[in-house]
A and B are shown apart, each in its own frame.
Chain A
Amino acid sequence: MAIVNKIIHSSVVDGPGNRAAVFLQKCNFKCSYCHNPETIGQCVQCGACVEKCPAKALSLKDGKIVWDEDKCCECDTCIHVCPHMSSPRVKDYTAEQIMEQIAPDLPYIRGITVSGGECTLQRDFLAELFLLAKQQGLSTLIDSNGSYDFSQDAELMNVCDGVMLDVKAFDCDAHKKLTGMSNEQVLKNAVYLAEHGKLEEIRTVIVPDQLPNEDTVFQITKLLKPYLDKKQIRYKIIAYRQFGVRSPYDQIFRTPSSNEMMKYKKIAEDNGFENIILI
């Protein structure tokens, strides 16, 4: 069983081809630039959102929040008022139930991507879902912040075709400042996954003046350069955008110009990366 924030039946941005994407609730990083901070926390059933819901789609029954999907107008008031960076609009699903949900999508998708939140926090569900997905001929990708030690989980890696890994900062202090956590495991994972041909993609969000962007792009591409002969690794370099970011960071951060983005692309290219996508 997992707490699911959202199921997207057709996504062209969560890995190669058309894929189903499942977003799990909860994250152990608290990035200041997160565009969906409501996926970070877990609902504590405090009920703060119930009264504020203009569509009366939320209620408290036996100490638990009940969300009426039909009444919901998706105005996002609940997630804005939530004091716990969570959302009442989540559902519990078993791996079988997820497969039932995406059964009509099977002819049109080549795979499934599980994202978050941080999906490895619900590792057992993930392993079970991927096993079922593999039986349907789907490719299986994890979208992760890299805090989970993949090298110690052969069972999961056997059913996972690849990981799309966030490399938010190469410098450990900068990483801690941004996410609240060290990046030691992230970098270990980058190398482990690349060595085993399972590093599908790395991605870095560029926030000018706030993060050591140039250092991150240079160091991570240099670190992974030896593995590119084995398999090219896609690098998504993403310009920070204000959309969805929580206060006060939305007022502090700025979006980089396309010229700045080209500079980072060039750095990655010089380190041998060929598949670079600027977003």
Chain B
Amino acid sequence: MLNITNLKETVESIITNSALTHEQAMIALSDVPLSYVEFFETTNEFRELCEAGCLCRMAEGNVTYQPRYILPDYEKLMREGCKFLRLDPPKNLFEAIQTLEIFYRHVPSVTHYPVYLGSVDKLLEPFMDDENAYKLIKSFLIFLDRSIPDSYCHMNLGPEATRAGEMIVEIETELKNAIPSITLLYDPDITPDDFAEKCVICALNCAKPSFANHKMYRKLYDGAYGIASCYNALPIAGGSFTLSRVVLSRLAERAKDSEHFLEELLPRAVKELCGYIENKIEFLVEKSHFFKSNFLVQEGFVKVENFTGMFGVVGMNECVNTLMEKEHKSDRYGYSEDADQLAIRILEKLQECVNSFESKYCDCTEHHFPLHAQVGIDSDYDISPGARIAIGSELPLHQHLHHCAKVHHFFPSGVGDIFPFDETAKRNPDAILDLIKGGFKEGMQYFSTYSSDSDVIRITGYLVKKSDIAKLDNGIAVPQANAKWGGYYEVKNSKIYERKVRSLNGDR
């Protein structure tokens, strides 16, 4: 396993790369040893499936020493302060913002940056009588963009309109930063149209906020939920221990036909992946330091029972098409009832197999691993995220939204689709809101948009600036870590710039 020559080459490639900042190099180096050591056994079949690319450990290495996604209970922070960080409950807007800024610095994740910033509008609202509110919130948003150089960090707003929420959206529309990501927890019965429209205008200017179907998500967990990282719906005061994924398209290449896939290959792959996820969680909870000594646990900002393990899925589009080809059928995903029926059968089978595994942990999801429509990783080539229709094969707008509604509900721990519009949509934000309302009524869970003339765009689940990608193309470092690690390669490999832009007169 330990090969000194490989280790040296890996380290050298990091420390000589001029397109990395110091911090990006340091974090990359810290991840290196984790791919050289193992702390629990894996089966031969699991390793074989990983090497063939059918299963994937999501760059976590063989071990994690912190949960992948942490959603701290920020309301508790505002109410009680934090002993470890010697923070008293804030009494005004300046202190509230400073408390959050300090606390964020100490919330780990798979990227080592916080992936959940809380429902910031609600956290700040009690202090909004401050006459300097605009100035303070603007500098807070600039601070986040420059000090958390990673757009997996995610702020939530809504569903109610608040002064703080309105101000955040207004300032982001002006700043057009890639960080943080923002989601509006949207319920048309609670969120006023004028606030939702402001959010649409902001999204057309800088690709955020996205819209989460609050009516559906709030039923998922007993307590409150938040949207973290890309679009992961997870319990607050908890999160996700880990995320691993099955690459359906690669697994389908091994199948004789769809029955072979559904009855043999898929159940075996799911069993292997569930076993691996469970072992990883066991190590994280029982052995590593986080759940023993981290202040977030000790002070009750997170609780082990509020964490789950996410079972990621990618490549449905290619999987269905491959299986159809193997059966000499010309049906294509999204374009034929038979192909879509096969997708539903695969999802039902997946759900059944994953739910037949009982975890010792994951109390918040009844000891099961929720399915997650994983958005892909930078090395994916010809593998569409989750159950999305492939870029280049998009359906007419309404049909596409309808298709999303058919598959989204299989993915409680996160799913979403992206619909870029040309800039004429900015004149009629109501129209975008109509689409979101219709989609949510039909069962769609998460909607993202941006405008074709926006510098900030959504890659698959996170935001980058096109201007940063252009710099990286020329080997120039940019501060945002996931522009470097994810965005750059995904733009190159996943045809992000070719995503269908919905135009002036929509679709015929």
Q: Which residues does A use to contact B, with CB under 8 Å? A: 6-13, 16-19, 21, 104-105, 107-110, 277
Contact = CB atoms under 8 A, between A and B. Distances in A.
A104 B504 contact: no
The DSSP consensus for interface residues of chain A is mixed
A75 B433 CA distance: 34
Given A12-B432, A110-B430, 14 more contacts: A9-B397, A9-B398, A9-B507, A10-B397, A10-B507, A11-B506, A13-B427, A13-B505, A17-B428, A18-B435, A104-B402, A107-B442, A108-B434, A108-B439
Given A17-B434, A109-B434, A110-B434, A12 B398 contact: no
B420 to A, nearest CB: 13
Contacts of B505: 8, 11, 13, 21
Contact of B441 (A8, A105, A107): A107
Interface in B393-440: 396-399, 401-402, 421, 424-425, 427-428, 430-435, 438-439
Contacts of B399: 104
Interface string B473-508: 000000000000000000000000000001011111
A8 B502 CA distance: 13
A12 to B, nearest CB: 4
Given A17-B434, A110-B434, A8 B508 contact: yes
Contacts of B396: 9-10
A277 B434 contact: no
A8 B398 CA distance: 11
Most central of B398, B430, B442 by chain A CB within 10 Å:
B398
26 contacts: A9-B396, A9-B398, A9-B507, A10-B396, A10-B435, A10-B502, A10-B507, A12-B425, A12-B427, A12-B428, A12-B431, A12-B432, A12-B504, A12-B506, A13-B424, A13-B427, A17-B428, A18-B435, A21-B505, A107-B441, A108-B397, A108-B398, A108-B434, A108-B438, A108-B439, A110-B430
B502 to A, nearest CB: 8
Contacts of B397: 9-10, 108
A7 B431 contact: no
B428 A13 contact: yes
B508 A108 contact: no
Interface residues of B, number: 27
Contacts, number: 73
A16 B430 CA distance: 7
B93 to A, nearest CB: 34
Interface in B324-383: none
B424 A12 contact: yes
Contact of A18 (B434, B442, B504, B508): B434
Contacts of A107: 398, 402, 438-439, 441-442
A133 B402 CA distance: 21
A36 B441 CA distance: 36
A20 B341 CA distance: 28
Contacts of B507: 8-10
Given A104-B398, A104-B402, A6 B425 contact: no
Nearest to B433: A17
B398 A105 contact: yes
Contact of A16 (B401, B428, B432, B502): B428
A105 B402 CA distance: 9
Contacts of B435: 10, 18, 108
B438 A10 contact: no
